[in-house]
Chains A and B, each alone.
Chain A
Amino acid sequence: MITIKDLHASIEGKPILKGLNLTVKAGEIHAIMGPNGAGKSTLASVLAGREEYEITQGDVNFNGVDLLPLSVEERAREGLFLAFQYPVEIPGVSNINFLRTALNEIREHKGEKGISAKDFMSLVREKSALVELDSKLASRSVNEGFSGGEKKRNEIFQMAMLNPILSILDETDSGLDIDALRIVANGVNQLKTDQNATIIITHYQRLLDYIIPDFVHVLYDGKIVKSGGKDLALELEEKGYDWIKNNTPN
């Protein structure tokens, strides 16, 4: 699915990712944990193709294609989806119009015809039910005036609508109440197939009670410094990051 090799990236001349390696196969769920400022969101942004970051070394193979030369929208159309840590508001643009535009761009890329209004609306109904998103939110402006939790839920709704092959969830659990957490996790689990994969960035092992990861990685100072099964999350919770820091040769 995705193979990241020796990835180095910097912003404004400051190196953030410093030789990161990660392989995710179809059908897998990976969790990435790590202290604030370690570079988790940077990794997500770099994979999504945000232009501010400079890739200084390394390569990324996504589903058989060389990812790094592709533009942001090409990556998205190839099936890469990022659920934002801070979803953006777009005043005056309805969620529905936004998603229909996105969906049609993706379909066009695949050589498919645009979706009819009727099919689109039934897809909206089906997928908003999946994340128990109030149908009123679907027709409101993208994220405008949404509560923090609603924004996060909207991200998963969009993911369900666009049906990506690799989803990167950047702290989708933060700011969710217990019920919302369960709903979001439930949505992610239902969308899981053996054709797609998910990378979950989180600080809390709590989410991993609902979404069982196949692998847990610790990202520290721009590198994956430790990988393991889901027990690693529990161990981290217990011992804190000092345990990692003290065991990482500098």
Chain B
Amino acid sequence: MANYTEDDLAKELKDQEYKFGFVSDIDTDTIPIGLNEDIVRLISSKKEEPQWMLDYRLNALAIWSTMNEPSWAHVKYKKPDFQSIAYYSAPKQTKKYESWDDVDPEMKATMTKLGISMEEQQRLTGVAVDFVMDSVSVATSFKEKLGELGIIFCSFSDAVQNHPELVKKYMGSVVPTQDNYYATLNAAVFTDGSFCYIPKGVRCPMELSTYFRINAGGTGQFERTLVIADEGSYVSYLEGCTAPQRDENQLHAAVVELIALENAEIKYSTVQNWYPGDKNGLGGIFNFVTKRGVCEKNAKISWTQVETGSAVTWKYPSCILKGDNSVGEFYSVAVTNNYQQADTGTKMIHLGKNTKSTIISKGISAGKSQNSYRGLVQIHKNAHNARNFSQCDSLLMSSECGAHTFPYIECKNSSAKIEHEATTSKIGEDQLFYCKQRGISEEKAIGLIVNGYCKEVLNQLPMEFAVEAQKLLTISLEGSVG
């Protein structure tokens, strides 16, 4: 940072501005800033929650107030002031949307700007979309069609009202209230999120998808996602995120819990594109997320993530391979540019026999960013014949960025097989020259090379998402070779 020159600045000014950096002019109902018991009660009453939910929140708040913010990740940032955040902000609409036509036109316009085009998605791709803006879920499509199969796909608040037995049983079962600082905070103040239940033996016929967006200034977003795949069922769930451009840092502290019961499979894909801050590191989202899944016997959970956004990312989607023969997979592309910092990776906890995990992590660092992979593979003593394969590759786009790999292995069973491969490479001037000599522009060349480098991960994404992810990768790295 010390040798930052005018030239660097000029180079960076050429960078693509954040494309989703608009603020929607929607009336919001935002509660006073700060965090205390009254605020938690207020959130709960705004959402007309039952007593058990309020108790859950208050317990979390009590635990949180005794905790300290972790400081071990390879990231540096100004700690958020938790008393200056508004913990609830909802588009001002009293009634619930029953159909797509009821949705506020301004909000629809927002979605169009986001490039989501719900109508088109509904029609053309058959993707059911749940859209969470600020804190409340605004529209869930395809509910009826899914209902016929017994699939529940709704906002978390709706689930609290309509399916309390499922929420009570599974909420906090994978990420307990006291799990970590941000998860505990989330448990106290979460405002909405998505809920999904696939009944026994049902193969969900379409991708289920949620878009999250932080819109109002000075707010935090704390959503919870709970996906339960009952025995022998299958679901593919997608999540996309954006936020407007603001000079302040905004906090996103989500919790995602996945439960794959016997013989079930959950495929969970995220394309995360929160506002990363400007070229000087001002503003941007702090993304502190706890994502974890548990696999019962013969079950499989597969996480795929493409991360291009956020000022600071701290995130380790994990699998607890509890049942015998269960399988965990983690495919990740994390891009950092300018002053972004990412500390991301996975934890694979092998408890059952013959459990298998695969980790493919592709880090891309540009500008002055710092990109760290932190992974833990833990083989417990009863996990006979457990296997893990990890591959962590780093691609450097400039000479001022950093890539770091922290693989941790804890093995308590000698029959385990663990393989780890890691590479670091710099984007080749030779590759760029080769592409350009064939007539390909630098921008497109970078897009090609980077997408080629990430191919193993992108291949895991559903088609429409893969296309979007490719575009995002290209946009977030434009003009970044140097």
Taking the complex as formed, is B80 at the interface, i.e. its CB lies under 8 A from any CB of chain A? no
A153 at the interface (CB under 8 A from B): no
Contact of B444 (CB < 8 Å), options: A105, A106, A141 = A105
B116 at the interface (CB under 8 A from A): no
The distance in angstroms between the C-alpha atoms of A211 and B168, with both chains bound, is 79
Write the nearest CB–CB distance from B358 to chain A, whole angstroms: 18
A91–B453 CB distance below 8 A:
yes
Separation in Å of the A155 CB from the closest CB of chain B? 10
Note all chain B residues with C-beta closer than 8 A to A158.
Answer: 438
The reply to whether B439 and A73 contact each other, CB–CB distance below 8 Å, is yes
Shortest beta-carbon distance, A150 to chain B, in Å? 16
Query: Which residues on the A side are within 8 Å of B456 (C-beta)?
Result: 92
Name the residue on B nearest A102 (C-beta): B438
Contacts A76-B437, A102-B438, A105-B439 given; does A92 touch B431 at CB 8 Å: no
Chain B residues with Cβ below 8 Å from A76 are: 436-439
Number of A-B contacts defined by CB within 8 Å: 74
- Stretch from A93-101, A120-128, A202-210, A224-232 at the B interface: A93-101
B100 at the A interface (CB under 8 A): no
Tell me which of A22-30, A82-90, A192-200 binds B.
Answer: A82-90
Contacts of B451 in A (CB 8 A): 92-93
Task: Check if A18 is an interface residue, CB within 8 A of chain B.
Answer: no
Contact of A93 among B428, B442, B449 (CB under 8 A): B449
- Decide if B437 touches A90 in the complex (CB within 8 Å): no
What's the minimum C-beta distance from A157 to chain B, rounded to whole angstroms? 12
Partner of B448, one of A71, A81, A89, A101: A101
Asked if A73 and B436 make an inter-chain contact with CB atoms under 8 angstroms apart, the answer reads: yes
Q: Are B448 and A88 in contact (CB under 8 A)?
A: no
Is A93 a contact partner of B439 (Cβ separation < 8 A)?
no
Which residues in B have their C-beta under 8 angstroms from that of A156?
none
Q: What are the interface flags for B408-432 relative to A under an 8 Å C-beta threshold, 1 for contact and 0 otherwise?
A: 0000000000000000000010110
Interface readout for B433-471 with A: 1 if CB under 8 Å, 0 if not?
Answer: 111111111101000110111111000000000000000
CB-nearest residue of chain B to A141? B452
Say if the beta carbon of A72 comes within 8 Å of chain B: yes
Query: Is A7 positioned at the interface, with any CB of B under 8 Å from its CB?
Result: no
Give the docked Cα–Cα distance between A91 and B434 (Å).
13
Whether B441 lies near A98 (C-beta < 8 A) is no
A162 and B435 CA atoms in complex are apart in Å by 13
Q: How far is the CB of B324 from chain A (nearest CB, A)?
A: 35
Tell me the minimal C-beta distance from A98 to chain B in angstroms. Answer: 7
User: Are B433's CB and A72's CB within 8 A?
Assistant: yes
Contacting B at CB under 8 A, from A122-179, are 141, 158, 162
A62–B451 Cα distance when bound, in Å, is 34
In the assembled complex, the Cα of A53 lies from the Cα of B454 at a distance in Å of 32
Cβ-defined contact, B448 with A98, below 8 A: yes
On chain A, the residues within 8 Å of B444 by CB distance are 101, 105
Given contacts A84-B434, A88-B428, contact A106 B439 (CB under 8 A): yes
Closest to B425 in A: A91
Closest to A159 in B: B438
B449's partner among A71, A81, A90, A99 (CB-CB below 8 A) is: A90
Nearest opposing residue in chain B for A93, CB measure:
B452
Q: Given A92-B451, A141-B452, is A48 in contact with B437 using a C-beta cutoff of 8 Å?
A: yes
Shortest Cβ distance from A105 into B: residue: B439
User: B438 touches which one: A89, A109, A162 (CB < 8 A)?
Assistant: A162
Chain A positions within 8 Å of B434 at CB level? 84, 87-88, 90
- Top-9 shortest CB links A-B: A92-B452, A93-B452, A92-B455, A102-B438, A76-B439, A72-B436, A88-B434, A105-B439, A73-B436
Interchain residue pairs with CB less than 8 A apart (30): A48-B437, A49-B437, A71-B436, A72-B436, A73-B436, A73-B437, A73-B440, A73-B441, A82-B437, A88-B430, A88-B431, A89-B431, A90-B434, A90-B435, A91-B453, A92-B451, A92-B453, A92-B454, A98-B438, A98-B440, A98-B448, A99-B438, A101-B440, A101-B444, A103-B439, A105-B439, A106-B439, A109-B439, A141-B452, A162-B439
